[in-house]
């Protein structure tokens, strides 16, 4: 099956970066989570544009999860048992691929994401130096994500390799002893490599993104979260539908902490987190007002979880290409 040339070009041109974690829900490491949100980068939608483009992207994600009463999570200087959390985050990403040529088959881009977070967290019991309430709700700015270095290498018309470096800045609200914090209160550096195959003739997509997060110490709690390794991927079939291109398939991820937590505040010891998720994904590429638009919706159910909450992610990504 040959994809219509204009719509296939839209697949490529609309590729923009969804940067990292949009909220600070309580689920592994300190606070039960790292900066990277599983599912952030997993498909052709998350690739680096190979041609000059300016795009705006809206990211909406909801996470609902819980832990049993015998699972202790270190949250903002306290230890919480039986944690239950629900968070929704809205992120706005600005992506620019300038008219800079870095060599045959290479392109350079930058992006920035500003998130706003609504969240509520409760626990059956809490203990620790600072004490904490058994329930907490908050909303506000989350931790911004900056990507000053994003490279795309076009191997052939169907295969691209992405290289990028992300910085998570502690811009979100954070209070010691509060269960619901919209920020993590520390910096994270994240190198990422992505491989994106999208067959022009057969419509088959096979995408794989892998990265590792290196975290600074939280100065408020003297807790340093260990490095986290993550792999996200998508297998999908794309086909012409309603004047555009539709896609359906499976998406999933594997996330594992690979070094121990450390620092005076890491009272629970190594506390390495791990989780795996899998679920369906659907996408659609079309035009709106003469501009290319792409939308993707996916659901990820978690299993094989250790030292984190266990729950479900729902992602909606919408990209609008100005040029």
Could you tell me the residue ranges of all domains in the chain?
Answer: 5-124+131-321
**H-run or E-run covering 5:** helix 5-13
pLDDT score at 139: 96
Q: Is the pLDDT of residue 28 over 80?
A: no
Q: Is the pLDDT of residue 269 over 80?
A: no
Residues 43-50, mean pLDDT to the nearest whole number: 94
pLDDT score at 223: 87
Q: Put residue 220 in one of left, alpha, beta given phi > 0 → left and psi -120 to 50 → alpha.
A: alpha
Q: Is the pLDDT of residue 29 over 70?
A: no
Q: How far apart are CA 198 and CA 204, in angstroms?
A: 6
Q: How far apart are CA 171 and CA 218, in angstroms?
A: 13
pLDDT score at 267: 72
Question: 66-104 pLDDT, tens per residue?
Answer: 988 877 787 888 888 889 999 999 999 999 999 987 778
What pTM value is reported for the model?
0.89
Question: 135-173 pLDDT, tens per residue?
Answer: 889 999 999 999 999 999 999 999 999 999 999 999 999
Fold of the CATH domain 5-124+131-321: Porin (2.40.160)
Q: Is the pLDDT of residue 11 over 60?
A: no
pLDDT score at 87: 95
Judge whether 173 and 137 are in contact, CB under 8 Å.
no
**Which tokens go with 253?**
């991820």
R_g of the chain, CA atoms, integer Å: 20
* Alpha carbon separation from 101 to 46, 105, 308 (Å, rounded): 21, 9, 43
Q: How far apart are CA 50 and CA 43, in angstroms?
A: 15
Question: 241-263 pLDDT, tens per residue?
Answer: 999 999 999 999 999 999 988 88
């Amino acid at each position: 099956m040959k994809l219509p040339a204009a719509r296939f070009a839209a697949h490529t041109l609309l590729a923009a970066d969804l940067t990292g974690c949009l909220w600070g829900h309580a689920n592994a490491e300190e606070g039960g989570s790292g900066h990277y949100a599983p599912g952030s980068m997993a498909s052709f939608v998350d690739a680096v544009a190979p041609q000059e483009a300016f795009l705006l992207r809206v990211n909406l994600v909801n996470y609902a999860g819980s832990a049993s009463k015998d699972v202790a999570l270190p949250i903002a200087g306290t230890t919480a048992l039986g944690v239950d959390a629900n968070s929704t985050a809205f992120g706005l990403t600005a992506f620019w691929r300038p008219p800079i040529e870095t060599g045959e088959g290479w392109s350079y881009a930058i992006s920035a994401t500003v998130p706003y977070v609504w969240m509520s967290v409760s626990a059956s019991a809490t203990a620790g130096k600072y004490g904490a309430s058994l329930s907490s709700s908050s909303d506000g700015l989350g931790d911004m994500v900056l990507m000053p270095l994003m490279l795309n290498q076009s191997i052939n018309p169907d295969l691209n390799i992405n290289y990028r470096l992300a910085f998570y800045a502690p811009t979100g609200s954070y209070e010691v002893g509060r269960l619901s914090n919209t920020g993590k209160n520390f910096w994270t550096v994240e190198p990422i490599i992505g491989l994106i195959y999208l067959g022009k003739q057969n419509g088959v997509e096979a995408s794989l993104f892998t990265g590792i997060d290196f975290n600074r110490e939280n100065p408020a709690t003297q807790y340093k979260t260990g490095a986290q390794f993550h792999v996200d991927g998508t297998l999908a079939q794309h086909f012409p539908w309603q004047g555009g291109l539709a896609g359906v398939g499976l998406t999933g991820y594997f996330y594992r902490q690979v070094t121990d937590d450390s620092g005076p505040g890491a009272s629970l010891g190594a506390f390495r987190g791990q989780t795996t998720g899998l679920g369906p994904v659907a996408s659609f590429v079309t035009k709106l007002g003469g501009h290319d638009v792409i939308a993707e919706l996916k659901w990820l159910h978690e299993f094989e979880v250790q030292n984190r909450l266990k729950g479900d992610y729902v992602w909606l990504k919408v990209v609008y290409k100005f040029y």
